[in-house]
Structure 1
Amino acid sequence: MPEGDTVWRTARDLHRALAGEPLVRCDLRVPKLATVDLRGRTVTEVVPCGKHLLARVEGGLTLHSHLGMDGSWRIHATGERQRGGPQHQIRALLATASHTAIGYRLPALDLLRTADEATVVGHLGPDLLGPDWDAPEAVRRLLADPARTIGEAVLDQSNLAGIGNVYKSELCFLLRITPWTPVADLPDPLRLTALAKKLLEVNKSRPARITTADPRPGRQLWVYGRAGRPCHRCGTPVRIADQGPAGRERPTYWCPACQSGPAEAPSATGRPMAPPPAPSG
């Protein structure tokens, strides 16, 4: 699932592949950009901004994209066979003489003036992996709605940018509070922001997220994706329930023994708990 670390890594790879060379091919497969041709222009840099990608192009233009839930950019040597999904899922193709970058299943793709980037990212709070990171400002924004649940507050990109559903669940586990705990009951808001930044920083350069310090398969995450399986810390079955406003609910994982605070009953959403894995051998 693309979160701030995935977007940071994608921006790094796109920058390495495209920056500094003129584009020899440009194919933007969304109706509003169907006639755009950036051939001959040079990509000057590709930068992440929370969960957004900004590819800045010679002439004061920026190609903005967002990965959403399952979007991705794939890079290969120009001339190699395309990989990453079927043709109908391609939304963007940018190529230099040496590398080709293909955007699959991108829910957002816009071309705008670089001077107008604030129209697509100006609403974001401090970026956990960005040069504008400001922990006190992130805390101020979180505390502005003290009755809001922590799970919803940290997913709100206008508070702090970069956290997604995986880190929401893992962060709450490490803080030993449930995601339904009100922001007002957070013992140390600065510790939350410091831990969130640490998690994204240590994972931004590796494809497999690890929050447990254990790289073994099945041991890398504390609770996310582990509904019905024993908690790594205490052995209690991990629970799952939807959280968030109607129509935008997200699955939330937590350990009822290790994490204190209010909790949603798993049966309230009708989402079944995953059974524990069958014993091997």
Structure 2
Amino acid sequence: MEKCFRILAKEQLSPSVFKMEVEDYFVAQKALPGQFLILRINEEGERIPLTIYKAHPQKQSFEIVFLVVGKTTKVLSQLNKDDCIKDILGPLGRPSEIPRNKTLVFLGGGVGIAEILPLAKAAKEAGNKIVIIAGFRSQEYVILEEEMRTLSDSLFITTDDGSYGRRGFNTEVLKEMLSKEKIDLVYTCGPVLMMQKAAEITKTLGVGCIASLNALMVDGTGMCGSCRVLVGGKVKLCCVDGPDFDAHQVDFSDLINRQNRFREEEKRVYG
């Protein structure tokens, strides 16, 4: 019988963000913070990378959180409990390196919050002080607030329109904090422009910054080269060398250009 990756639970977190729990022994046992997987919904589907939000070894399952941004994530969001996903490959990527007994800031934007929370949890368990700065478009797009409050020693939420928390961008809070407090390291994940701004701020103020890059991927094992990025002037592959990189060394302009290279094809299939 062909293997089926069964969906155990599904929850809509915001108008465009969903959480799913999926049954799989291997990913549940092996996944570490910072790693991701590649999935294909059906025989005709494309392969997409998604961060492993949580792993449940005893339940032999894991959770993913994803944003509906194209045809594949739209189809994925329409699946329900007991439906099947055809292919899952993972865990992939290098696990995040977690320091001990430091003060760390986790800067996330939108669904990027789901990608940094596993790192924040591991960092908390390693004796670090955790500051989370989360940015969202508006109140209805705020996700995982309870989890953020549980993990953080300090939590700051911003919304672009001021409908919840502080009005403005989370990078503004980051800049103010780094100017007043001693922060040992910043982790960031989310929109590329946000990560680029975080890299500029931290570099100017002399604070280290790690960016978890979400480059376009196909196979996830280093063969296709689709997810290549320039780091310190050298070509790196997000799938096997990352996804974490020194943000001060990342060529964000090149990354932005590469992220847009299939824009017309995406419009044709999704609108």
TM-score, scaled to structure 1: 0.28
**Normalization by structure 2: what TM-score?**
0.29
Hey, which of these two has a bigger chunk of strand by percent?
2
